[in-house]
Amino acid sequence: MPSWLNRSQLLLMATLAVVGIAQSLSGRLDSYILSVAMGVGINIILASSLNLINGFTGQFSLGHAGFMAVGAYTAAVLTGRLAPQWSPLFGGQVFLLFPAALIVGGIVAALAGALVGAPSLRLKGDYLAIVTLGFGEIIKVIFQNLEFVGGAKGLNGIPDYSNLLWVFGTAAITVYTVWALLNSSYGRGFLAVADDEIAAEAMGLNTTRYKMVAFVVGAFFAGIAGGLFAHLNNSINPSGFDFNKSIEIVVMVILGGMGRHIGVILAAILLTVLTEMLREFGDYRMVIYSVLLILLMLTRPQGLFIWPTRKAARRQNA
Amino acid sequence: MNKTGLQLQQVTIRFGGLTAVSQVSAEIHPGELAGLIGPNGAGKTTVFNLITGVYAPTEGNITFGGAPLAGLKPFEITSRGIARTFQNIRLFGSLSVFDNVRVAFHLHLKQGVFPSLARGPSFHREERQLAEQTRQLLDIFQLDRVRDEPAKSLPYGDQRRLEIVRALATQPQLLLLDEPAAGMNPAEKVELMKLIQFIQDRYKLAILLVEHDMKVVMGICQRIHVLEYGRKIAEGTPSEVRENPAVISAYLGQQPDAAPVQS
């Protein structure tokens, strides 16, 4: 079915083109709407990349905010503090400097992912969750104590380089990457690892390597999302990347239906918009949010956006 | 195909104070259909787990094709040409029948992360080739009609068959079957025996069978190894084993007035 596969790449191109047009018109949009839209895009990147780890590969990581922090700080330091030293390399051009900073941020986050993954991916389920949770907290405390990046006050005055093009362009690439990785004979291995690790190993799959790839790719995109986040909000501080942020992303993955491409994107959109809409309730915002989550989990435990796949539907009709 | 097959030399494994397998030596020749039998708890599955690298032997050596298997991880042992099925079926339940088999071709796959993302011509060529091989294998074992069903939705007998087909997709020289007839009715057992003989004929591989059902073991195995309490008590052709007093007493107990058995 090569024509179908090529369609996915076509779709990626089309998405990028639409985002390009949207960006050229963004001057006319309300700046609040614009920032919420970019928040949606960043959450799509975070949720889709975590979906690779938690949804498709069946691991349970609670450290996504930690990887995000690593990418955010790396990119922010590169475009802020270190820009005078190395931006001449790019002729001072933001459209070259910014993606380079984002990618370096992603790579450093991926290295952090490899560093955490190597000793801990032998653990399963709850144990891995605890190790990654610990990692997230360690990252937070490290940044709180690094005076170079502002300590607990965080970094301010980060240039606002993020725009619709960068955010949704990256989101489209993230979704494509996760999709393309899974829709291949190689990629079915991730699902096999999630289903039965012992059987996967017995069929010749290097399960540790699969988990590592999921972890590193997931961390890479979380790092890029962090860079985009930093250059959207103009300031970052360590407590913005705490346990709650990780949980927020995990909720998107669960609500979207673990291991569903579209469902997780829809959940990321819904939850981002929902948090914004609940702002007018002030202090009660999180209470309402939590109640809604509990209701959703009681009524749709399999995920909000699950519908029968085409094949399953055909089976039922037959 | 290598000439030496699988060799176990004085293999022992202890779990704490318990010696589960003690000084077991055995040889499985290339192309041979061998059986491993013994009463419950004799250590048969433990022997499988030793061969496939799930456990490392406390003492002794296991070699395959002349090369030692010590220290290899299960997936590396599979890549040396030893595949297995499980006593309790372990399919990839949520994956389709087709994907269960396709994943098992993994060892012979050149692609990885970057080809999957770039999706160039060679990626598509390999995917097509793999799909074709998978389809052929499913066809041979009459699983083609259920190729899109999730594996967990198959009837029990088909799940057993699929597990064997999946193991074959790794293209082994030695296939280990852990109680394939468990839970089958007599008609299904006859089918299974035919299936095992068919596989051995067609793919010219060695098969080691752990089985409780004597009809199945005696019916198809060329050579039988008998374990009791982790020790090997006998080895031979089905008729030799059937006559062996040590085996009879292991299965039926000793008659109080019978002469003590020499083993």
pLDDT of residue B235: 92
The alpha-carbon gap from A194 to the nearest alpha carbon of chain B, in Å, equals 9
Question: Which of A68-72, A201-205, B104-108 is least confident?
Answer: B104-108
Tell me the nearest-neighbour CA distance from B120 into chain A, angstroms. Answer: 10
Pick the residue of B51, B54, B55, B75 with the most A CBs within 10 A to test the interface with A by mutation: B75
Higher-confidence residue of A121 and B34: namely: B34
The ipTM, to two decimals, is: 0.88
Give the pLDDT score at A318.
42
Binned at pLDDT 50, 70 and 90, residue B106 comes out as confident
Q: Indicate the SS3 state at residue B71.
A: coil
For residue B2, the model assigns a pLDDT of 52
pLDDT tier, A102 (very low <50, low <70, confident <90, very high otherwise): very high
Q: What is the spatial distance between Cα B208 and Cα B197, in angstroms, rounded to a whole number?
A: 12
pLDDT value at residue B256: 60
Residues of A in contact with B123 (CB under 8 A): 184
Checking if the pLDDT of A222 tops 70, the result is yes
Is residue B50 classed as helix, strand or coil in its secondary structure?
helix
Q: What is the mean pLDDT of residues A36-58?
A: 95
Q: What is the pLDDT of residue B260?
A: 53
The whole-number pLDDT of residue A22 equals 79
A312 vs B255 pLDDT, higher one = B255
Q: Is the pLDDT of residue B9 over 70?
A: yes
The reported pLDDT for the residue numbered B113 is 86
* DSSP per-residue codes, B197-233: HHHHHHH--EEEEE-S-HHHHHHH-SEEEEEETTEEE
User: What digits encode the pLDDT tens for the residues B216-243?
Assistant: 899 899 999 999 999 999 999 999 988 8
Q: Who wins on pLDDT, A87 or A99?
A: A99
**pLDDT tier, A76 (very low <50, low <70, confident <90, very high otherwise):** very high
Task: Give yes or no for residue B261 having a pLDDT over 70.
Answer: no
- Using pLDDT thresholds of 50, 70 and 90, give the confidence band for residue A285: confident
Q: Does A203 touch chain B (CB under 8 A)?
A: yes
The answer to whether residue A255 sits within a structural domain is no
For residue A91, tell me if it sits in a domain. Answer: yes
- pTM confidence score: 0.89
* Tens digit of each residue's pLDDT (9 = 90 or more) over A23-34: 777 777 788 888
Q: How confident is the model at residue A2 (pLDDT cuts 50, 70, 90)?
A: very low
Residue A179 forms part of a structural domain: yes
Residue B148 has pLDDT above 50, yes or no: yes
Res. B258: pLDDT tops 60 = no
Q: What is the predicted pLDDT for the residue at B7?
A: 93
Chain B residues with CB-CB distance to A under 8 A?
Answer: 52, 54, 73-75, 78-79, 83-84, 86, 90-95, 99, 102-107, 109, 111-113, 115-117, 119, 123-124, 126-128, 130, 148-149, 166-167, 169-170
The answer as to whether A292 is a domain residue is no
Report pLDDT for B259: 52
The reply to whether A94 touches chain B by the CB within 8 Å rule is no
* CA–CA distance, A154 with A275 (Å, rounded to integer): 24
A42 with A166: CB under 8 angstroms? no
Task: Give the span between the Cα atoms of A257 and A275, in whole angstroms.
Answer: 20
pLDDT at residue A309, as a whole number:
54
Q: Tally helices (H) and strands (E) across chain B.
A: 10, 10
Model confidence band, residue A231 (pLDDT cutoffs 50, 70, 90) = very high
Confidence at A66, pLDDT banded by 50, 70, 90:
very high
Segment A234-262 shows an average pLDDT of: 90
User: Is the pLDDT confidence value at B32 over 70?
Assistant: yes
Question: Is B106–A185 a contact, with Cβ atoms under 8 angstroms apart?
Answer: yes
**Mean pLDDT, rounded, for B189-214:** 91
Residue A119: inside a domain: yes
Tell which residue, B162, B165, B135, has the closest CA to residue B150: B162
- How is residue A276 written in tokens? 């914004």
- Which of these, A213, A241, A212, lies nearest to A226 by C-alpha position? A241
Distance CA A96, CA A78 (A): 13
Structure confidence at residue A1 (pLDDT): 40
pLDDT tier at B255, thresholds 50, 70, 90: low
- Provide the domain count of chain A: 1
Give tens-digit pLDDT for B149-188.
999 999 988 999 999 999 999 999 999 999 999 888 888 8
Q: In Å, how far is B226's CA from the nearest CA of chain A?
A: 25
Residue A268 lies in a domain: no
Provide the shortest C-alpha distance from residue B130 to chain A (in Å).
Answer: 8
Higher confidence at residue A175 or residue B112?
A175
Q: Is residue A60 part of a domain?
A: yes
pLDDT of the residue at A304? 76
Give the closest residue to A223 by CA, choosing from A61, A102, A99, A78: A102
Containing structural domain, residue A81: 3-242
Confirm whether A224 is domain-assigned.
yes
Nearest-by-Cβ selection for A311 from B78, B94, B148: B148
Residue A9 has pLDDT above 80, yes or no: no
B73 vs A contacts (CB less than 8 Å):
201, 206
**Crossing angle of helices A2-25/B121-140, nearest 10°?**
140
Which of B141, B193, B192, B200 is closest to B165 using CA atoms? B141
In this model, does residue A20 exceed pLDDT 60? yes
Which pLDDT belongs to residue B143? 92
Percentage of residues in chain B having pLDDT higher than 70: 95
